[in-house]
Amino acid sequence: MIREVLRDLIDKLSEDELREIYNLIKLARENAGLAYEYLARLSRRRLGRHTPMRGSMPPLVKRYVNAEVVSLPPPRFARRLSVEDAIISRRSRRSFRDEPLTLEEISTLLYLTAGISRWIYGAYGLARFPLRTYPSAGALQPVELYLSAHSVAGLRPGLYHYNPVDHVLEKLREGDFSRRLIDIALGQEHVGEAPATVIMTVYWARTRWKYGDRAYRYAMLDAGFAGENLYLACEALGLGTCAVGAFYDDELCELLEIDCVDEIPVLMFPVGRPSNAEET
């Protein structure tokens, strides 16, 4: 059956298209990334594929309109550390003291990672257009932040989504999801032992709207920039974190109730006060 369908498809393809598919299959069997890079390669021949911009721009900010909202205190910038010092002292830290975080620390961390640092007029025809603390391809801002709170003073344990427009948390579900996160992260204990874990996704459909095949690469880069913000913000706040990329995607998507197609998880960041052993 599949053979027949494929044979039928092949009959309808041009020599050029056949060659492209052949190359793609050869590359994909070696490594999926090679196949993606082949398809996303920007050449004059392929340029048309990269700028579709069909239909209206997807919303720049995800909102859970019916969710209970938790106000965050204003971010506080103690300026204890220079950027130079934060860059040099940054390390991945996987062991945390058994102490709660404060809501002010969470507020500052989320703001510095992916908050709105300026509003401009007129971009993409919008009267008010946000810009973020991280640079973003086409300013399309695919990064979404979720928080799994395990021990944060003044915040019930649960799953939250960060809404940068109002600088609030939207409550998705109450409960302690620390054990579940450890299981999803292939048993990595630090993901659940921290008082809070930030989960970063990219809603890359936003970037795809403008950049087509190139979008996946750009969205990953955006996430990398925001991830470094998070690391450096932790250093500045006297906190520690570790980027965690090893996790079962489908299970994390199920926990966050996202589709794993237009929005995909990219990294988890357990956050806490580093234990003495980690402070050196």
Ligand X SMILES: Cc1cc2nc3c(=O)[nH]c(=O)nc-3n(C[C@H](O)[C@H](O)[C@H](O)COP(=O)(O)O)c2cc1C
Query: Which of 243, 248, 262, 275 lies at the binding interface for ligand X (CB under 6 A)?
Result: 243
Tell me the CB-side half-sphere exposure of residue 175, using CA atoms within 13 A. 7
Q: Does 217 participate in binding ligand X (rule CB under 6 A)?
A: no
- Three-class secondary structure of residue 92 per DSSP: strand
Count interface residues toward ligand X (CB under 6 A). Answer: 9
Query: Which of 114, 242, 256, 264 lies at the binding interface for ligand X (CB under 6 A)?
Result: 242
Interaction mask 72-91, ligand X, x per CB under 6 A: -------------------x
CB of 174 vs ligand X, minimal distance in Å: 27
Task: Compare residues 163 and 241 and give the one whose CB is closer to ligand X.
Answer: 241
Q: Does 92 participate in binding ligand X (rule CB under 6 A)?
A: yes
Question: Exposure string (b/e) for 261-277, b if CB count within 10 Å is 16 or more?
Answer: eebbbbbbbbbbbbbee
The answer to whether 130 touches 164, Cβ cutoff 8 Å, is yes
CB of 159 vs ligand X, minimal distance in Å: 20
CB of 16 vs ligand X, minimal distance in Å: 36
CB under 8 Å to 253, separation ≥6 — which residues?
A: 259, 260, 264, 265
Partners of 130 in the β-ladder: 119
CB of 93 vs ligand X, minimal distance in Å: 8
CB of 164 vs ligand X, minimal distance in Å: 23
Task: Compare residues 94 and 180 and give the one whose CB is closer to ligand X.
Answer: 94
CB under 8 Å to 39, separation ≥6 — which residues?
A: 24, 213
Query: Which of 163, 188, 201, 241 lies at the binding interface for ligand X (CB under 6 A)?
Result: 188
Q: Does 197 participate in binding ligand X (rule CB under 6 A)?
A: no
CB of 109 vs ligand X, minimal distance in Å: 17
Tell me the C-alpha distance between 40 and 117, whole Å: 31
Residue 70's identity, in one-letter code, is V
Q: Does 221 participate in binding ligand X (rule CB under 6 A)?
A: no
Q: CB burial class (10 A; 0-12, 13-18, 19+) of residue 278?
A: middle
Question: Interface with ligand X by CB under 6 A: which residues?
Answer: 91-92, 94, 188, 242-246
